[in-house]
Amino acid sequence: MKPILTAAAVMTALLCSSPVLAKARAQVEGCLKGMVKTQACDRMIQNYWQHNTSIERVAREERIDPLLLKSLVAYESRYNSKAVSPKRATGLTQVMPATAAELGVSNRIHLYDAEVSLRTGSRYFRQMQDLFPGRLDLALAAYNAGPNRVRRAGGIPKIKETQDYVRNILALYREFQLKESRTGQPGRGNGLQHVTMNNTTQSPTPRVSLPTRRTGPVSAAKTTGKKQTSTSSASTKKNQSRFKTSNESTSSSRFQTAGAGL
C-alpha cells in the first residue's frame, strides 16, 4: 500500500503557504507543467526526462512510491545529477556525505552518479518512513532536518526551510497523483500495492553498490540559501550531450511546451 496523503496533509500543503513558498512552488510546478519558459526551466525538464525512468525503477525497488520520489528529487536538485549544495549535499537526492557513508558510499564523488544518488537517497528516505509510519509529512521533515529534530519537536520542526520543504513536496506529490488519475496510467505510481507501511522489525538497510566507473566532481559556483544547488557549465554541457539517447530524448520545443506532462 503506497503512502496516502491525509486530508490534513493536503490542506497544509495547499493553504499554509507564504509568498516565498508560493513563488518556489510556482517555478517548479509551472516548469513541470510546461507553463514556464526559461533556460533554467528548459534544463530542469531535460534533466527530468533524462532521469525519469531511473527514478521510477529505483523507487519501486526501494519500496517508495515513484511519484513521491519524483517530487522529492524535484525540490532537492531540480533533477540535476551534478547538483551540490553549500553544505556538500550531493546529487539528485542531495544526500549529505555522512549519511551516504552510513549506507556504504564513503566517497561523496560517487553521489554524482545518478544511480548511486537515487539508491542512497531512497534507502535513507525509506528509513525515515519506517521511523514515522503513516506520517509522510514527518518522514519528509526527517529527511530534510534529521529524525532527531523531528522527535524533539514532536512533529515538523519550526524551521522555515523544513516547513516549506514538506509543503512543497506534498503539493507536487498531489499534482503527480492527480495527473495519474486523469490519464488513467496506474503503472506510474501503483507499483507498491503489496508493500506495507507497518513499522515492523526489519533487517539493516543494505549498503549501496558503487559504480564501476568514477564520476568526477564539479566545481561549486556561488549560491545563496541553504538548499540551493550549483553546477559547472562544463557538466551542464556534458549532460546536454547525453539527452539525445533512448526513447527519453526529446526536442527543445517539446521541453518548453509539454514540460513533464503534469
SS3 262: coil
CA 219 to mean position of chain CA atoms: 22
Give 126: exposed, middle or buried? Use CB within 10 Å, 0-12, 13-18, 19+: middle
Tell me the CA distances in angstroms from 187 to 54, 127, 177, 193, 234, one per residue in order. 15, 24, 12, 11, 36
Q: Which three cell numbers stand for residue 140?
A: 519528509
Given CA atoms 48, 51, 55, 57 in this order, what sign does their dihedral have? positive
Q: Which of 29, 56, 62, 76 is catalytic?
A: 76
Catalytic, 76? Answer yes
SS3 76: helix
C-alpha torsion angle, residues 210, 216, 222, 223 (rounded to 10): -20
As annotated, the active-site residues are 76
